[in-house]
Amino acid sequence: MRALFTNPIKTPLLSHLFSCSNFLPIRHGLSDSLLPSFLRVDSTPSFTTQRSALSMAAIPPKSPSAEEEGLARRFWIKFKRESVFAMYTPFTLCLASGNLKIDTFRNYIAQDVHFLKAFAQAYELAEECADDDDAKLSISELRKSVLEELKMHNSFVKEWGLDLAKEASINSATVKYTEFLLATASGKVEGVKGPGKLATPFERTKVAAYTLGAMSPCMRLYAFLGKEFQAFLDLNEGNHPYQKWIDNYSSESFQASALQNEDLLDKLSVSLTGEELDIIEKLYHQAMKLEIEFFNAQPLAQPTVVPLIKEHNPARDHLIIFSDFDLTCTVVDSSAILAEIAIVTAPKSDQNQPESQLDRMSSAELRNTWGDLSREYTEEYEQCIESIVPSMKVEQFNYEALYDALEQLSDFEKRANSRVIESGVLKGVNLEDIKRAGERLILQDGCTTFFQKIVKNENLNANVHVLSYCWCGDLIRAAFSAGIH
């Protein structure tokens, strides 16, 4: 439950996220919704490297000798997938980027107050179970650090004018997480005697170890996120609205608390059996999943783009990146450019065409024909979308329905393209005119840099495909020619 992010996220390290070979094949006739390089939580048609991602350095590195690592470290490495998921939830991205809406942050703080109170209580129960004086002292210190964290939340309440009385309703994800922690700390774990029946010091120490195992992921995840997000403070030139949050979880004191928790877990579990260590692993993994649920439960009503990634092994994996072109890469829609070229270069109605040239419509005829095609496209597109969008809310994912809808959309695009071809509006357009038009296209800020970093990285094994309903790949290639070859 400890997380954050800043303004559309700026990162110079996208080449660590994605990978690609040194060519740019073009595919036509598909929309960006079919095979996106990002999962769009909204349909905002904009491209920017600022709205995409953290470096793969965010993924905990593999240990060269995991057997020599402590228990907590081994689990952290084993469940690094969950740490990445937690970092890339829509809520976390918006928080880290600094553009998280204040209402969502209010809710987050209120939920985290509920969680931290349970977290402190779990430490208190673990301290009662610990048999070693040094362990008791360490747990007491960790509990005090949680109480200090609650004071920080109180400062948020004052600074942001939050009313926790209004925000106090606890959501189901927070309930699930706090009940899990307190049940574990009370000994309600598979294979452990019920509360009040922990007769021997060993049984009580085992419960303390289980409790630390369930709490360690939270501490390590927030320490990890704090350090990762710290890199974004410089990009915001000291104006990050949630800097205090980042400063706290990236601080040396919090990093030390996370390590203290892990060291204590190693100490308490040293005499446990293999089966009991397996129980701690399950508790650790469950806590990581509950962190993700906690972040995903925060109400978010703002456009967010979430990268779809997995750990990439160039020797084994081949990554294909798809990007839309119009209004994603470009500032303006390029779909009408070819028609404009045809109209501008067409003969006037009173001009005779040389016998060596193809017969072409006059500019007036082309403009009228293109206008008719555009109107017909718009009307049929609206009818197509209306026919494929369900009239009622869909409760669960239906692959067959999605497949059928995309088939209908594809058929519509094919019919529209066929009408353009049959009309002859593009007949006789000069290729050099097309290339010059492409070179003059203005691309979105960061677009060229994004693809450059991918294409020029020789250690990556991937292809980039640009999708567009523009009929000419040369136009698209020319648009990128200034920076990508």
- The torsion of the CA quartet 417, 423, 429, 434, rounded to 10 degrees, works out to -30
d(CA 63, CA 77): 8
Cβ contacts of 283 within 8 Å, gap of 6 or more: 184, 189, 210, 213, 214
Beta-carbon count within 10 A of 435 CB: 17
Strands 462-468 and 38-40: unpaired
- Write the DSSP assignment of 62-82 as a string of letters: PPTTGGGS-HHHHHHHHTHHH
Cβ contacts of 432 within 8 Å, gap of 6 or more: none
Residue type, 209: A
Rounded to the nearest angstrom, the gap between the alpha carbon of residue 316 and the centroid of all alpha carbons in its chain is 23
d(CA 245, CA 226): 8
| Contact (Cβ atoms closer than 8 angstroms) between residue 246 and residue 223 | no
Q: Facing residues of 464 across strands?
A: 321
> What single-letter DSSP state applies at residue 484?
-
Strands 38-40 and 26-28: unpaired
The two tokens of residue 34 are 């079919």
The two tokens of residue 290 are 């509950």
d(CA 408, CA 447): 31
- The torsion of the CA quartet 193, 199, 202, 203, rounded to 10 degrees, works out to 10
d(CA 3, CA 315): 33
Residues forming the active site:
218, 291
Q: Give me the count of residues in the chain.
A: 485
d(CA 70, CA 90): 32
From its phi and psi, is residue 236 left (phi > 0), alpha (psi between -120 and 50) or beta?
alpha
d(CA 381, CA 407): 14
Question: Among positive and negative, which fits the CA dihedral 271, 275, 277, 279?
Answer: negative
Strands 305-307 and 38-40: antiparallel
